[in-house]
């Protein structure tokens, strides 16, 4: 056969630190590769050696349209594992939206990322894009006047989901709501979706705050999103419209101008509105708030489109989502819980193995029974979750700790994430050598079944996701993405990144304060409340 050499230059990215790589393979080496690797090599070679249409550079939006048109009835999926990539994707899509942006978030903070995101949406609205935002009421911290000012823009509509805690609600009304409808008050919209022009979308675990994009210098989350193009975006948008039309999603303007009895009396005149807009724009222009490097990366995002085009996987992607008001059909909310049933069916379909990543693991009786059945028929179940040292939620960890020995005896393999994982240098490369590295915790919500199907979404393995909070996610029917997510979770399970729950006694690495609080919370009967 000779000793011919295949030489092809693959341009991976225009991002700093990434360069073209020369692949030189002898025939002998080439033949040793697996069939899968050969296919991937040929695929990459074809895309790198043959020029993409000029529209990929001149008009990347048109290039996206071309890709969608050539894959009718299919969905393109691209996993966003790093916070920096997830942020750049959102920023670039916001800058290039032409008609509409629809956003749902459980948390939207007023920290650096939260303000920059709000300013980006405002700029989109100022150039004529229709912006609609639904934010859950529980943890919102935006000043009343700022929230009202943004909602008064003619191209911006903001609705607050189940507003019984914060927006427009006086303290005495909050207490009354908790006393009269505790379960209803606790039902929250946990969805995270970002939809642009009805064609592209991002969903996954990330809220809109510094710590979800690896930009917090003290505490960050290991999280996961997925970028979607094409058919599945229609279903995500339909779910958004369902929430938008729900009586539980209340316009911001309707939450104010009360007499202080049932709603707050908040007003903002035009001069104040314009000042709030200008303050946001000034904030975004300040280099200390929006790094020039990040700005340049966002601007250069189209240069990486060829690489992204190679990695987008087209095929079947199923969207699973709940209806507004999910409360296990108890009390007056009465919404449905489709995500729980869909994920249970997905788990039941396993024949060999399931790999799960969830920041919180508090299993209901039904979930325990499901995992018992899986283990009994030989399915290997591995779970990646937080340790006491890394968790941000003591209450949830107390529920997990009460169950942990039982779960281990059932045959589940559990790995608890370290607060100082070795992988953090890859997740947050901006941290200088002399800086104190931040604590990392898990926040990704993913499941891989038999290395063939991958779920990425908002669903936690706990009673809140099962019975209370509305959730959303996608099931990707592609082995290459399933393996990608599975390998990422398995990397997080490695000794440098996690402790083995059964062998390493990871609780000893938690602070004395956390260990004390855990003992107290373990005595609280949380389960009946959820």
Axis-axis angle for helices 112-126, 83-96 (nearest 10): 20
Token reading at 252: 């911001």
Closest by Cα among 336, 338, 388 to 360: 388
Q: pTM higher than 0.95, yes or no?
A: no
Residue 105: the pLDDT is 97
Residue 472 CB neighbour total at 10 angstroms: 26
- Residue 269 phi, psi dihedral angles, 5° rounding: -85, 175
- Going by C-alpha positions, the residue among 29, 38, 512, 91 that lies closest to residue 295 is 91
Q: Are 515 and 388 in contact (CB under 8 A)?
A: yes
> What is the CB neighbour count within 10 angstroms for residue 248?
22
Q: Are 228 and 135 in contact (CB under 8 A)?
A: no
Q: CATH number of the domain at 74-308, please?
A: 3.30.870.10
Q: Which pLDDT value is given to residue 30? A: 34
Q: Provide the token pair at 383.
A: 């779970």
Q: Is 96 helix (H, G, I), strand (E, B) or coil?
A: helix
**Sign of the alpha-carbon torsion through 217, 219, 224, 228:** negative
Q: DSSP secondary structure string, 358-396?
A: -S-B---HHHHHHHHHHHHTT-EEEEEEE-TTT-S-HHH
CATH code that applies to domain 310-529: 3.30.870.10
CA distance 437 to 217: 7
Tokens 């030189």 locate to 24
Rounded to an integer, what distance in angstroms lies between the CA atom of residue 200 and that of residue 77? 10
Give how far Cα 383 sits from Cα of 101, 408, 522, Å: 35, 11, 22
CATH 3.30.870.10 range(s) for the chain read 74-308, 310-529
Task: Count the neighbouring beta carbons within 10 Å of the beta carbon of residue 238.
Answer: 11
In tens, the pLDDT along 162-197 reads: 999 889 988 888 899 888 888 888 899 999 999 999
pLDDT at residue 308, rounded to an integer: 67
pLDDT of residue 84: 85
The tens-digit pLDDT sequence of the chain (530 residues) is 333 232 233 233 333 333 333 333 333 333 333 333 433 332 333 233 323 333 334 577 788 888 899 999 999 999 999 998 898 889 889 988 999 999 999 999 999 899 999 999 999 999 999 999 999 999 998 999 999 999 999 999 999 999 998 899 888 888 998 888 888 888 999 999 999 999 999 999 999 999 999 888 789 999 999 999 999 999 999 999 999 999 999 999 999 988 777 888 889 999 999 999 999 999 988 887 776 666 666 666 666 555 666 789 999 999 999 999 987 655 556 666 789 999 999 999 999 999 999 999 999 999 999 999 999 999 999 999 999 999 999 989 999 999 999 999 999 999 999 999 998 877 777 665 556 778 899 999 999 999 999 999 999 999 899 989 999 999 999 999 999 999 999 999 999 999 999 999 999 999 888 888 888 887 776 554 54
Q: Under a CB-based contact definition with an 8 Å cutoff, are residues 476 and 317 in contact? A: yes
Please tell me the predicted confidence (pLDDT) of residue 43: 36
Residue 450, C-beta contacts closer than 8 angstroms, at least 6 positions apart:
350, 351, 352, 353, 354
pLDDT of residue 306: 57
Task: Go through the chain and tell me how many residues it has.
Answer: 530
Contact 182, 93 (CB under 8 A): no
Task: Indicate the pairing of strand 193-196 with strand 200-204.
Answer: antiparallel
Residue 86: per-residue pLDDT: 92
282-322 confidence digits (pLDDT tens)? 998 888 777 666 666 666 666 655 566 678 999 999 999 99
The C-alpha R_g of the chain, in whole angstroms, comes to: 24
Q: Report how many helices (DSSP H) and strands (DSSP E) the chain contains, helices first.
A: 21, 21
pLDDT at 307: 64
Secondary structure (H, E, C), 140-179: CCCCHHHHHHHHCCCCEEEEEECCCCCCCCCHHHHHHHHH
Tokens of 77: 């999926």
Beta strand extents in 408-445 (DSSP E only): 413-417, 439-442
What is the C-alpha separation between 502 and 407, in angstroms, rounded? 10
> Following CA atoms 28, 34, 35, 37 in sequence, which dihedral angle do they give, to the nearest 10 degrees?
-100
3-class state of residue 452 by DSSP = coil
DSSP 8-state secondary structure symbol assigned to residue 313: E
What's the confidence (pLDDT) of residue 303? 61
Beta bridge partners of 335: 326
Q: Which helix (H) or strand (E) holds 103?
A: strand 100-105
How far is the C-alpha of 181 from the C-alpha of 162, rounded, in Å?
12
């Amino acid at each position: 056969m000779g000793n011919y050499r295949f030489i092809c230059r693959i341009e991976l990215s225009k991002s700093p630190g990434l360069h073209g790589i020369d692949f030189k393979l002898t025939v002998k080496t080439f033949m040793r590769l697996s069939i899968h690797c050969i296919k991937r090599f040929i695929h990459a070679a074809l895309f790198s050696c043959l020029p993409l249409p000029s529209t990929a550079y001149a008009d990347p939006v048109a290039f996206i349209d071309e890709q969608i048109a050539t894959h009718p009835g299919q969905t393109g999926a691209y996993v966003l594992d790093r916070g920096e990539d997830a942020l750049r994707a959102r920023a670039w899509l916001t800058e290039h939206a032409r008609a509409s942006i629809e956003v749902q978030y459980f948390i939207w903070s007023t920290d650096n990322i939260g303000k920059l995101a709000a300013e980006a949406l405002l700029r989109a609205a100022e150039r004529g894009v229709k912006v609609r935002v639904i934010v859950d009421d529980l943890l919102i911290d935006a000043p009343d006047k700022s929230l009202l000012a943004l909602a008064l823009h003619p191209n911006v509509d903001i609705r607050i989901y189940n507003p019984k805690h914060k927006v427009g609600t006086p303290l005495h009304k909050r207490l009354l709501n908790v006393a009269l409808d505790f379960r209803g008050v606790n039902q929250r919209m946990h969805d995270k979706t970002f939809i642009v022009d009805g064609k592209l979308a991002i969903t996954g675990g990330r809220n809109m705050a510094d710590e979800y994009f690896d930009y917090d210098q003290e505490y960050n989350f290991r999280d996961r999103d997925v970028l979607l193009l094409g058919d599945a975006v229609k279903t995500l948008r339909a779910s958004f419209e369902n929430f938008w039309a729900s009586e539980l999603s209340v316009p911001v303007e309707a939450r104010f101008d009360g007499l202080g009895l049932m709603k707050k009396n908040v007003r903002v005149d035009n001069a104040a509105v314009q000042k709030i807009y200008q303050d946001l724009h000034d904030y975004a222009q300040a280099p200390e708030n929006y790094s020039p490097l990040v700005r340049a990366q966002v601007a250069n995002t189209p240069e990486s489109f060829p690489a992204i085009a190679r990695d987008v996987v087209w095929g079947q992607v199923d969207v699973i989502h709940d209806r507004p008001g999910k409360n296990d059909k108890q009390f007056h909310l009465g919404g449905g819980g489709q995500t729980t049933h869909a994920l249970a069916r997905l788990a039941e379909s396993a024949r060999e193995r399931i790999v799960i990543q969830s920041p919180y693991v508090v299993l209901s009786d039904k979930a325990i029974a499901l995992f018992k059945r899986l283990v009994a028929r030989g399915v290997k179940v591995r779970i990646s979750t937080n340790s006491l040292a890394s968790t941000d939620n003591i209450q949830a960890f107390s529920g997990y700790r009460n169950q942990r020995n039982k779960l281990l005896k059932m045959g589940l393999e559990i790995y608890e994430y370290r607060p100082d994982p070795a992988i953090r240098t890859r997740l947050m490369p901006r941290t200088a050598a002399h800086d104190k590295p931040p604590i990392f915790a898990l926040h990704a919500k993913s499941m891989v079944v038999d290395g063939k199907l991958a779920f990425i979404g908002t669903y936690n393995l706990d009673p809140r996701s099962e019975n209370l909070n509305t959730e959303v996610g996608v099931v990707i029917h592609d082995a290459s993405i399933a393996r990608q997510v599975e390998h990422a979770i398995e990397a997080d399970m490695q000794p440098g990144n996690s402790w083995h729950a059964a062998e390493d006694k990871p609780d000893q690495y938690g602070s004395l304060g956390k260990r004390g609080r855990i003992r107290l919370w373990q005595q609280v009967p949380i389960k009946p409340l959820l």
